[in-house]
Amino acid sequence: MNVPYVNLAAQHAPLKAELLRAAERVLVAGQFVLGPEVDEFEKRFAGLCRVPHAVGLNSGTDALILALRVLGIGPGDEVITAPNTFVATVSAIALTCAKPVLVDVRDDLNIDPALIEPAITPRTKAIIPVHLTGRPADMEPIMAIARRRDLYVVEDAAQAVLAEYDGRSVGSFGDLGCFSLHPLKTLNACGDAGVVTTADEGWAQRLRVLRNIGLETRDNAVAWAGNSRLDTLQAALVMVKLRHLAEWTEARRANAAFYRTALSDLPAVRVPAESPREKCVYHTFVVQAERRDELRAFLAGKGVGTAIHYPIPIHLQTAGLSLGYGKGAFPVAENQAARILSLPVHQGLRREEAEYVVAQIRAFYGL
Amino acid sequence: MKVPFSYLDRQFAEVNPYLADIGALVKCGDFTLGKALEEFEGRFAALLGVPHAIGVGTGTDAIAISLRLLGIGPGDEVITTPNTFIATVGAIVQAGARPVFVDSENGFVIDPDLIEPAITPRTRAIVPVHYTGNVADMPRIMAIARKHSLVVVEDACQAIMASIRGRLAGSWGHAAAFSLHPLKNLNVWGDAGVIVTRSAALAAKARLYRNHGLVGRDEVRTFGVNCRLDTLQAIIGNRLIGTTEAITRRRIEIARRYDESFRDLGEFIDVPVRRTGVRHVYHLYVVRAARRDELLAHLTANGVEAKVHYPIPVHLQKAARCLGYRRGDFPVAEKHGRVAVTLPCHPYLTDDEVSCAIDCVRGFYARAPLRSGS
């Protein structure tokens, strides 16, 4: 059996007719830049996250960069985040000329709130908790620290649309929430796209100016800025998929639940637990496995695609050397980097495929 | 008769081939980078006659990334003109540098005589803008840049296929930025831009930088951005790039008709400056007109969709307050803000529509129509 890690072709095949109709609608309207389609998408996305405002941008990375810019974060400032995230979280900080300050994560791959406070200095301006894998970070203590120390919170919810913590959507806790609609995300554009959510109308307005070359109206520029608009065409395409998002999310959760049960008796493979406070949406289903690389090769030989998110923590990347951390700085994240493996969990995964994956994992460990 | 400024409905009236291409992409799900983008970059480089073209998110990004990767940053000054679209300056600021303005000449491009006096010990780059589709005086600008060891990034966003003595805009500087915005001469269905350069090193850096600094999937060489030209847009670009020269010729033809039809209006209208040896591609056909606001109202009332690019020069924008310029600093750019008006000049206009626009302008200045009928 062949079980690919992702299958975008299979996801899109049944949507093709609807997607093409959406593309044609944009074309007939003749508006390829901003306009009613983007407005409508933003309204629906805000509703989805139960926040007052959503602003469509060119990518999740731009969402992080512009969120930091809106907060006035720049040279001399420090921003705290985790070392095991996708590089864009840290790049965004570095590109605003602030200093990324990394703290280690817990067993659930998310930032350890207990380590945040010791990392705060007089220059710290913000915390970026990452809802990695689609699991919400532990927002209650994080928000408490932020309030106590007067720090901004920018949620990196790139992997976590529809995830909840204490019944509240991610992206609604912090000052700003950053989402990605990259093709490999659960809610995916047919290209790069991103969104920022916020409860603050002033920040939403500022983001609309910053994404559009600083223009408040066609002829009035009120800030220097780049061009980071969510393509109108992509907004229309994503709206087709919005209708399916709840169902896709439940399918991923069901796949995760299946794996969790089916692998629960394997001491060599730790499956991610789910606390009652969390609703995880499983952008990735990451197990921590003994002999990970051998397992991965074995699975590949049996036709099972897997991935590693991510094999090298950011502080050990070439780009991260300038941050001045060495090997050993973040033992949990480093240890996980050698053990984590993402199993196929996408909404199109059939039960017999998941069963096959489990059977191959068991076979590898001689069970 | 209505003479529209936008032309997307006409350009894409036969939509099925595009939808078929998009359908094929949707079916394979290969939405990021990949073959279609590589093909587009190859064809774009060939069209420009330069070795490297790198697709990025927007024309603005193309300028900002070029500057940044050529080493321009905080503390550096970059010379450009306030007679441009705001994005040129936004890009300079994105790169961390300080924009320094010098006035433009009547052809809507930087006045080369004014560049050297603006150079300070902190000046690191010049961003000449080939605004409206005219070409800045690149031989002189390159000579100045060589003399003072400055980097030149051409803002060629509006000037694809424009040239000086046959040498294309975008092939002069260390790098050049193009835009494929839906209203550009070569356009796609959303935002997209291209960097072109002769430097293999810069091209490699740009490819890294636009994609998170990633080498392969897992190695991060440098902190970068996500600024890829969408593969979906590259597919549209591949369908259109072969038409660029034909589009350019038709624009030039319409511009020439306007020029000739306004010859006896010299006391009211200055047609676009045509320098010897320069191929102006008329992304915007901008005349400088007496009683501009009245003319604009007259054109609009008669269905001719004219526009003003742009009423407020960049140095007088609210965003520019921090730069400390004042009204009066750049008289040519300021005058253009008062007198410029852009007539529809796209290749999808019929001859009758062009005649209608011409006669509408002539009528406003109480001149007889050139032809009756429409």
- How far CA B371 is from CA of A231, A316, B279, B374, in Å, comes to 43, 74, 28, 8
- CA dihedral sign of residues B90, B95, B99, B103: negative
Burial of A167 (0-12, 13-18, 19+ CB in 10 A): exposed
Rounded Cα distance, B223 and A65, in Å: 12
Which helix or strand (DSSP H or E) is residue A188 part of?
Answer: none
Q: A113-123: per-residue pLDDT in tens?
A: 999 999 999 99
- In single-letter form, the type of residue at position A186 comes to T
User: By residue range, what is the domain housing residue A321?
Assistant: 245-364
A80 plus A196 within the same structural domain: yes
Q: What is the dihedral of CA B208, B52, B243, B58, to 10 degrees?
A: 30
Average pLDDT over residues A19-24: 95
What is the value of pTM for the model shown?
A: 0.95
A77 plus A214 within the same structural domain: yes
- Residue B373: predicted pLDDT: 43
- Residue B370: predicted pLDDT: 85
Q: Which of B40, B56, B230, B307 to mutate to test the interface with A (most CBs of A within 10 A)?
A: B230
Q: A225-258: per-residue pLDDT in tens?
A: 999 999 999 999 999 999 999 999 999 999 999 9
A301 plus A193 within the same structural domain: no
A138 plus A206 within the same structural domain: yes
Q: A126-173: per-residue pLDDT in tens?
A: 999 999 999 999 999 999 999 999 999 999 999 999 999 999 999 999
A241: which 2 tokens? Answer: 């998929």
A159 plus A90 within the same structural domain: yes
Domain boundary among A185, A216, A242: A242
Residue A2 lies in a domain: no
Out of A224, A310, A319, whose CB is closest to B213? A319
Segment 323-362 of chain B within 8 Å of chain A by CB: none
- Flag whether residue A158 sits within 8 Å of chain B, measured between CB atoms: no
Segment 36-75 of chain B within 8 Å of chain A by CB: 57-61, 64, 74
- Residue B374: predicted pLDDT: 41
Q: Which of B223, B228, B232 to mutate to test the interface with A (most CBs of A within 10 A)?
A: B223
Q: With a threshold of 0.85, tell me whether the complex ipTM lies above it.
A: yes
A300 plus A198 within the same structural domain: no
End-to-end CA distance of chain B: 8
Q: What are phi and psi of A177, to 5 degrees?
A: -120, 135
A35 plus A179 within the same structural domain: yes
Query: CB neighbours of A184 closer than 8 A, spacing ≥ 6?
Result: A6, A8
Residue A293 lies in a domain: yes
Q: Quick one: pLDDT band at residue A187, thresholds 50, 70, 90?
A: very high
Residue whose pair of structure tokens reads 């408040």 in the numeric block = A216
A177 plus A267 within the same structural domain: no
Roughly what angle, to the nearest 10 degrees, separates helices B351-364 and B292-301?
A: 130
| Pick from A98, A57, A53, A65: nearest CA to A80 | A98
Out of A15, A233, A312, whose CB is closest to B190? A233
Burial of A163 (0-12, 13-18, 19+ CB in 10 A): buried
Domain boundary among A242, A267, A298: A242
Query: CB neighbours of B60 closer than 8 A, spacing ≥ 6?
Result: A213, A226, A227, B87, B90, B91, B94, B177, B179, B193
Q: What is the pLDDT of chain A when averaged over all its residues?
A: 97
- How far CA A58 is from CA of A14, B57, B178, B314, B356, in Å, comes to 26, 8, 18, 25, 40
A256 plus A330 within the same structural domain: yes
Rounded Cα distance, B50 and B40, in Å: 14
Domain boundary among A242, A265, A289: A242
Residue A3 lies in a domain: no
- CA dihedral sign of residues B248, B253, B258, B262: positive
A199 plus A210 within the same structural domain: yes
HEC letters along A290-307: CCHHHHHHHHHHCCECCE
Q: A272-318: per-residue pLDDT in tens?
A: 999 999 999 999 999 999 999 999 999 999 999 999 999 999 999 99
Which residue stretches of chain B have pLDDT < 50? 372-374
- How far CA B328 is from CA of A219, B43, B81, B331, in Å, comes to 19, 44, 14, 6
Which helix or strand (DSSP H or E) is residue A206 part of?
Answer: helix A201-210
A32 plus A166 within the same structural domain: yes
Please count the structural domains in chain A: 2
- Flag whether residue A63 sits within 8 Å of chain B, measured between CB atoms: no
A182 plus A267 within the same structural domain: no
